[in-house]
Amino acid sequence: MEHDVALTVKGLKTYFYNNNRCNRAIDGVSFEIRQGKTLCIVGESGCGKSVTAASIMQLLPTLSRIEEGEITYHGPDGPVRIDALDRGGAQMRSIRGKEIAMIFQDPMTALNPVYSIGFQIKEMLMYHTGLGRRARHDKAIDLLASMGIPLPERRVNDYPHLYSGGMRQRAMIAIAMSCNPRILIADEPTTALDVTIQAQIFELMETLKRDNGTAIMLITHDMGVVAELADDVAVMYMGNIVEAGPVGTVMRNPVHPYTRALLDSIPVLGRGKDQEIKAIPGQTPDPYDRPKGCQFADRCMHRIDKCDEMPPETQVSDDHRVMCWRYQEFASNGR
């Protein structure tokens, strides 16, 4: 069981420092990514999803750092403690891109406009493989072809502005997949794309996962995407994972009020336009002025006095955990 875990994150705390104030962007997050599985991290903007990804990649901005916790990459040569590595050091760089690759939210801006797509793929191959010039070029064409880019021999020399949005994201995935990474982190890869393109991109990621056994960490705020793609899901709120577990369990039996509220806020096809969509009341708290206890308490309709204290992570079942004082009541009343 243990050997098919690709990455373990334990008690991760990443803080941002700004004007002598500290934003506890991630405040004790634990999860693991399994080989060949998709872990979806869902949550509202600003909940720490992207910071989690940046922490794993050691790509945090200068004014932030990992304060506590462990990030362990279970590579072919045994476990590596990523959090202990130097950000720009050779060892981190050999993992970044080769072992753990990343694709970003907006393919329009994530590619460098002054270099051809081929150049940006070959650059990656140059640093992480021993391939020669010619071989790198052929490999770049192969990669584009496998991403479904038509006429890859010609498109490989094209610049990003000649690609459409969906094609750019495919090219980004081609870059990310070029060295057969064990883990692919996708930070809202389809937010900037059309819904039809979104489906194509996800299909592509599914294929890659199946064929290469890549572990995927997919960051999204779309519960529909979670239902579609995830094997495991972690719901984040204000720097904590408030509920996590296999997707079937969490979707069918959500026990955290925030997860339930998220699910209630999605319109369901077929229920007609009169269906009630429950928005979550209130706003996310100011990260510099957080509630003392449960971060969701102020917006929660099940709040009790005890919520002024931070609830511990509790196992609901073997693989389902939650951070809520009253989860048992929600678990028993079903859905």
Partner 1 sequence: MLTYIAHRLLTLIPMVIVISFLIYLGLELTPGDAVSHMIPPDAYGSMDPDRLQELRESLGLGQPFFVRYWIWISGVVQGDFGYSLAGGVPIADIFLDRLPATLELSFAALLISTILGSILGTISALTRGSATDQGLTVVGMLGVSIPEFFFGLVAILVFAINLDWLPVGGRTLPGYDSFWDRLPNLVMPALVLSIMMTAGVMRYARSSMLDALSRDFIRTARSKGMPEWRVNILHGFRVALTPVIVLIGFRLPVLIGGSVIIEQVFQWPGIGKEFVSAVRSQDYPLVMMVALFSVLAVLIASLIVDLLTAIIDPRVRLGE
Binding-site ranges for partner 1 (CB under 8 A): 57, 59, 88, 92-98, 101-102, 104, 106, 109-116, 123-124, 127-128, 159, 161, 172, 175
From the CB of 172, what's the least distance to partner 1, in Å?
A: 8
From the CB of 119, what's the least distance to partner 1, in Å?
A: 10
Q: Residue 146 or 157: which CB sits closer to partner 1?
A: 157
Give the separation between CA 26 and CA 17, rounded to whole angstroms. Answer: 13
What is the identity of the amino acid at 178?
A: S
Q: Residue 53 or 261: which CB sits closer to partner 1?
A: 53
Half-sphere exposure of 5 toward its Cβ, with a 13 Å CA cutoff?
A: 13
**E strand intervals along 20-104:** 21-34, 38-42, 64-75, 78-81, 100-103
Contact 327, 316 (CB under 8 A): yes
From the CB of 253, what's the least distance to partner 1, in Å?
A: 36
Tokens representing 17 are: 């420092």
Q: Residue 62 or 196: which CB sits closer to partner 1?
A: 62
Q: Residue 10 or 93: which CB sits closer to partner 1?
A: 93
From the CB of 95, what's the least distance to partner 1, in Å?
A: 7
Q: Residue 97 or 239: which CB sits closer to partner 1?
A: 97
From the CB of 179, what's the least distance to partner 1, in Å?
A: 9
SS3 content of the chain, % helix, strand, coil (to 5): 35, 25, 40
Angle at 185 between CA 228 and CA 170, to 5 degrees: 75
Q: Residue 102 or 294: which CB sits closer to partner 1?
A: 102
Instruction: Compute how many other C-beta atoms are within 10 angstroms of the C-beta atom of residue 308.
Output: 12
Closest CA to 188 of 226, 165, 221, 228: 221
Q: Residue 167 or 175: which CB sits closer to partner 1?
A: 175
Give the separation between CA 10 and CA 74, rounded to whole angstroms. Answer: 13
From the CB of 174, what's the least distance to partner 1, in Å?
A: 12
Kindly list the strands in the beta sheet with 314-317, ordered across the sheet, starting from the edge strand earlier in the chain: 100-103, 183-187, 215-220, 38-42, 232-237, 240-246, 320-322, 314-317
Tokens representing 279 are: 């928005």
From the CB of 123, what's the least distance to partner 1, in Å?
A: 6
